[in-house]
């Protein structure tokens, strides 16, 4: 029987693992060589005059150009892109793309609008530069790349997909085994100026901002091209700051979230440029239509229409019976209409038809309550849209714009 090779020897002989590329965050200076000064001057002058924008502290202050088309930026790849197109289709705003390889498309119901498929972070950047007017993107990306710029306005913050949260995660073993909160992590004696807490993240704005707001001084950040979850096990980082959906990936990599470690909650949102809404012709009207369609569809998504017949002496008596049941109030109250029956050649009213909007989660309970007060012939159908007299978010948007 052969003797097994010691683990340490095996590790020494094995080829080095593929390690994600991590690099510390630092300022970068770019130099230009090999270009004559006169040509370089012409290039710079041309770029400045073409962009018509000024940059302060890394943030572009855009000037609205004279184009007539309104530009809507949508995610170009992944689950976010698919869910965005599905939502727009459900709102009767189907995106028509002649060629799937093209990055520009149309929405026939919005003839003055162009759709541009972009990376999520580029959607935010181009909203700030004035190259896009509207966009659908995650709130995490808005916060990271918008960096609190006042030109960005969240028109609708909850499109009901892309749900996740940005959270700090640490190993569930070693010196972190009994660490369960951000406060406990911050007070660990291991972190000093010479040996700070090392955090791997792709959120190089939100990460440092979060740590500073929570009074954690001895911390350094690094960026990664690969999977962040591998960083602590490889000894490259002590913790990671990343987006979490179900938390399964963290658990499979022996990582855990901690109390107080959630930076923000995120989901898909409709975002707009303040300048575009106030200065570009037709932009505000387009946003109004998109917002109304979104609100009507999203409000109806969790509702059923329930129709039933009830025997009664009059509408008030039927309404009184319905009001005794907690799940039969509807959006504002049940709609009650007489059912005209013909008996012995005469028209009479013996039944009343009731129409109620019921939350999907309470459907069976509501049907049981209907039966309890004399309801019969219960019909259930899904709702497609619920249009309010005016959407609350529209009023809020006008207020934010000072209109």
Query: Residue 68: what pLDDT?
Result: 87
Give the closest residue to 159 by CA, choosing from 253, 263, 75: 75
Angle at 310 between CA 387 and CA 386, to 5 degrees: 5
* Token pair of 311 as six digits: 């025997």
A 10 A CB-CB count for 232 gives 24
Contact 318, 336 (CB under 8 A): yes
Query: Residue 347: what pLDDT?
Result: 86
How far apart CA 146 and CA 357 sit, in angstroms, is 39
Query: Residue 46: what pLDDT?
Result: 38
- What is the pLDDT tens value at each position of the chain, 403 positions in all? 433 333 333 333 334 444 444 555 543 333 344 444 444 334 333 333 343 444 443 444 555 667 889 999 999 999 999 999 999 999 999 999 888 888 999 999 999 999 999 999 999 999 999 999 999 999 999 999 999 999 999 999 999 999 999 999 999 999 999 999 999 999 999 999 999 999 999 999 999 999 999 999 999 999 876 689 999 999 999 999 999 999 999 999 999 999 999 999 999 999 999 999 999 999 999 999 999 999 999 999 989 999 999 999 899 999 999 989 988 888 888 999 999 988 888 888 889 999 999 999 999 999 999 999 999 999 999 999 999 888 889 999 999 999 8
Angle at 343 between CA 339 and CA 349, to 5 degrees: 30
Cα-Cα end-to-end distance for the chain: 86
Sign of CA dihedral 233, 190, 172, 204: negative
How far apart CA 87 and CA 77 sit, in angstroms, is 15
Full-model pTM: 0.79
Query: Residue 225: what pLDDT?
Result: 63
């Amino acid at each position: 029987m052969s003797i097994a090779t010691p683990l340490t020897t095996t590790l020494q002989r094995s080829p080095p693992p593929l390690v994600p590329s991590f690099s510390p965050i630092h300022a970068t200076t770019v130099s230009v060589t090999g270009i004559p000064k006169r040509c370089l001057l012409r290039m710079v002058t041309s770029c400045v005059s073409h962009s018509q924008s000024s940059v302060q502290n890394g943030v572009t202050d855009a000037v609205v150009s004279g184009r007539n088309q309104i530009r809507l930026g949508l995610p170009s790849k992944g689950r976010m892109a698919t869910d965005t197109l599905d939502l727009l289709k459900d709102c009767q705003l189907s995106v028509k793309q002649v060629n799937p390889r093209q990055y520009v498309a149309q929405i026939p119901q919005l003839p003055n609008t162009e759709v541009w498929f972009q990376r999520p972070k580029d959607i935010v950047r181009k909203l700030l530069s004035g190259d896009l007017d509207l966009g659908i993107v995650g709130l995490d990306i808005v916060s990271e790349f918008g960096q609190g710029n006042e030109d960005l306005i969240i028109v609708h913050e909850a499109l009901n997909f892309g749900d996740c949260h940005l959270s700090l995660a640490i190993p569930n073993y070693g010196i972190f085994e009994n660490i369960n909160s951000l406060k406990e992590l911050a007070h660990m004696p291991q972190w000093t100026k010479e040996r700070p807490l090392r955090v791997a993240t792709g959120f190089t704005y939100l990460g440092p901002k979060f740590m500073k707001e929570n009074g954690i001084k001895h911390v350094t950040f690094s960026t990664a091209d690969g999977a962040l979850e591998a960083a602590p096990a490889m000894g490259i980082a002590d913790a990671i700051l990343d987006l979490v959906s179900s938390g399964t990936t963290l658990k499979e990599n022996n990582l855990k979230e901690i109390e107080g470690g959630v930076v923000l909650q995120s989901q898909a949102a409709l975002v707009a440029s303040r300048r575009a809404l106030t200065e570009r012709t037709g932009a505000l009207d387009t946003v109004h239509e998109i917002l109304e369609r979104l609100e009507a569809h999203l409000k109806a998504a969790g509702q059923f229409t329930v129709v039933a017949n009830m025997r009664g002496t009059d509408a008030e008596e039927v309404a009184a019976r319905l009001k005794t049941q907690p799940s039969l109030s509807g959006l504002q109250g049940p709609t009650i209409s007489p059912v005209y029956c013909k008996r012995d050649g005469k028209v009479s009213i013996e039944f009343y038809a009731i129409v109620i909007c019921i939350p999907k989660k309470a459907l069976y309970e509501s049907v049981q309550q209907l039966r309890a007060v004399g309801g019969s012939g219960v019909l259930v159908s899904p709702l497609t849209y619920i249009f309010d007299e005016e959407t609350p978010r529209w009023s809020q948007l006008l207020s934010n714009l000072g209109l």
